[in-house]
Amino acid sequence: MSTTDTKINTSVGQADFFSIAEQKRYARHFALPGFGQEGQARLKAGSALVVGAGGLGCPALLYLAAAGVGRIGIADGDRVEESNLQRQVLFTIGDLGKPKAEAAKCRIEALNPHIRVEAFDRMLNSENALDLIRSYDVIVDGSDNFPTRYLVNDACLILGKPLVYGAVSAFEGQVAVFNWLMENGGRSPNYRDLFPEPPEPGAVQNCEEGGVLGVLPGIIGSMQANEALKILSGYEAPMHSKLFILDAASLRTMTLKFRKHYFEPVKTLIDYEGFCGVPLPDSQRIVQVEPETFKSLKHPEEAYFLIDVREPDEHNRQNLGGINIPLGMIREQARQIPTDRPVMLYCQSGRRSQQAILQLQEMGFGNLLNLSGGMDGQL
């Protein structure tokens, strides 16, 4: 049974449950009406898994660690990139190239030595999600893509875990709590009740494509930490069955209520990339050009017809040459692409260019190559 469903026995006295250093550190929580020593004891006995140590995960991790959540897990398979530093406040220049999970672990251990931190340098998938999520009391979703959101939601449904959701794009942020165990014994609505079907591929821009105000993930991630702390400490019920929306540009907020639908119960995890219509790159279909090979070319535009599939403002700031056709326009402007010579597509990391190649291959193009690592691989 999780600490969210039981009371922590503190009858032996707080001096026996908290060290002197912990009593000093958490004094403001001890003095907080409705929270006090028992709420802090629940935090110490509780655990949280943060999926994604990015813009949302970084502030969530900072505040969960500072508050004294006893065991914190970090699941992220990415490495720290310079473009992350605009909003991912756990990392510094010295962390570039390091695994995000390990770098985040070092930072929050330095912040609070009284907690246990576990780093998982891997992305969640249908093979490992249940095992990773199983032993944590609350899950905080800081992911930035639809396959992971549906995966984490479904794993929480199967395991009966409360899920704290957050999302950001441009100037808008969202927060909600899914699958909360209510007083009547039922579970609150989940992500599928709010979004039964994923959007069409490319219909919603991610932060790499559409940008995001740097401070916005800090606000939303902190709100996610607040909801997780409410769940773990029991001092207040979390904001379930509602979606909180913030427009950071105008500081207007809106709260939408939504109900539970009666879908078929989720019993197993599925292929979420396929479910969301995002085909996994197939090495047999996509020819990759390694960063070192491209760097060795004195005149790459003579060897390849180059296409940058990033947004125009990204292309204008810095590029590797060639023409600019954004991913969302690739089908519409395919007539600009020659068929009688090798065509290399690139983007910032190599992901968007792979999606563009898959679209063009469906149109009959057979002369396409992808620059592995994209712009990042050349810097």
Structure tokens at 168: 């950001």
Q: Which of 58, 156, 207, 276 is catalytic?
A: 207
Contact partners, residue 42, CB within 8 Å, separation at least 6: 3, 7, 8, 232, 233, 234
Query: Distance between CA 341 and CA 303 in Å, rounded?
Result: 9
37-47 as b/e: b if 16+ CB within 10 A: bbbbbbbbbbb
pLDDT in tens, the chain (379 residues): 344 443 333 333 444 689 999 999 999 999 999 899 999 999 999 999 999 999 999 999 999 999 999 999 999 999 999 999 999 999 999 999 999 999 999 999 999 999 999 999 998 988 899 999 999 999 999 999 999 999 999 999 999 999 999 999 999 999 999 999 988 888 999 999 998 877 766 666 666 666 889 999 999 999 999 999 999 999 888 999 999 999 999 999 999 999 988 666 788 888 787 677 665 545 446 888 988 899 898 888 989 999 999 888 889 989 999 999 998 889 999 999 999 999 999 998 887 888 888 889 888 999 999 998 888 888 6
Domains and CATH numbers, the chain: 14-275 (3.40.50.720), 287-378 (3.40.250.10)
Structure tokens at 239: 């904001």
Query: Distance between CA 55 and CA 52 in Å, rounded?
Result: 8
Of the candidates 189, 177, 188, 181, the one whose C-alpha atom is nearest the C-alpha of residue 224 is: 177
Per the annotation, the verdict on 106 as an active-site residue is: no
CB 224 within 8 A of CB 158: no
SS3 338: coil
Angle at 69 between CA 88 and CA 181, to 5 degrees: 100
How much is the pTM? Answer: 0.72
